[in-house]
Amino acid sequence: MWSEGETIVRREVRNDGWAWCQIPVVVVRDEPDLLATFIPTGAPFTFPPGPETHPWSGRECWQGHGVLMLQRPGDSYAVWVFWHGEEREFRSWYLNLQEPFRRTATGYDTQDLELDLILHTGGRIEWKDDELLDLRVEEGRFTQDQARDIRAEGRRLAAELETRGHWWDAWWALWEPDPAWDSAAPVRAARHA
């Protein structure tokens, strides 16, 4: 378990074992049933060389207010909390479908599964990047079977949200990072990863 304020590394690792994107994140909470991490503004992206280009390559660092990520062990998604504008307004919950996170010595590994769901404050669910999933199949990143399984997980998750609501506390929409969690600590951690 990590301590609050500790900087660790979130890596996206493909099925072939290549970690093709990594970014330092700050631990907000680490408990048996919840890992909450934060990407602060200015946290640098690293794209290790390999046979393909990561979809985010060309971005040097995280921009905006930063993003809070809530994830439970074994879940095939993380809840990303974004804020917008000068007032740091909360608009929706962003459910990023991804492989369940796996702890490592320096942080955790996962892999983005392209498809996302947006849970608006009124309860409406919006599907995002479904067409990109088809493109990723054409590119060979996912198989047709994997895309079918990813969409099935999206439908399962949408049905769960509609029938039971969300498991996370709505308080997270009001959460604010420690002002000391600027990009300085993540930059130092990224150099040592």
Residue 113 lies in a domain: yes
51-103: pLDDT as tens digits:
888 989 999 999 888 999 999 999 999 999 999 998 999 989 999 999 999 99
Residue 180 covered by a domain:
no
Q: What is the pLDDT of residue 190?
A: 47
Residue 147 placed within a domain: yes
Give dist(CA 77, CA 74) in Å, integer. 9
53 is in which domain, residue-wise? 7-169
In a domain, 159, yes or no: yes
* Strand, helix or coil for residue 89: strand
Examine residue 185 and state whether it is found in any structural domain, yes or no: no
pLDDT band, residue 152 (cuts 50/70/90): very high
Q: Residues 46, 22: contact at Cβ < 8 Å?
A: yes
Mean pLDDT, rounded, for 170-178: 95
What does DSSP assign to residue 111? -
Is 176 a member of any domain?
no
Q: Which of 128, 153, 158, 175 is catalytic?
A: 128
Q: Does residue 181 lie in a domain region?
A: no
Any domain includes 177? no
Q: How many domains does the chain have?
A: 1
Query: Which tens digit of pLDDT belongs to each residue from 17-41?
Result: 999 999 999 999 999 999 999 999 8
Q: What is the largest CA-CA distance in the chain?
A: 45
* 163 φ/ψ angles, rounded to the nearest 5 degrees: -95, -35
Whether the model pTM is above 0.85: yes
Closest to 115 in 3D by CA, of 102, 100, 103, 131 = 131
Would residue 186 show up in a list of annotated catalytic residues for this protein? no
CATH code where residue 84 lies: 2.40.380.10
Mean pLDDT of the chain: 92
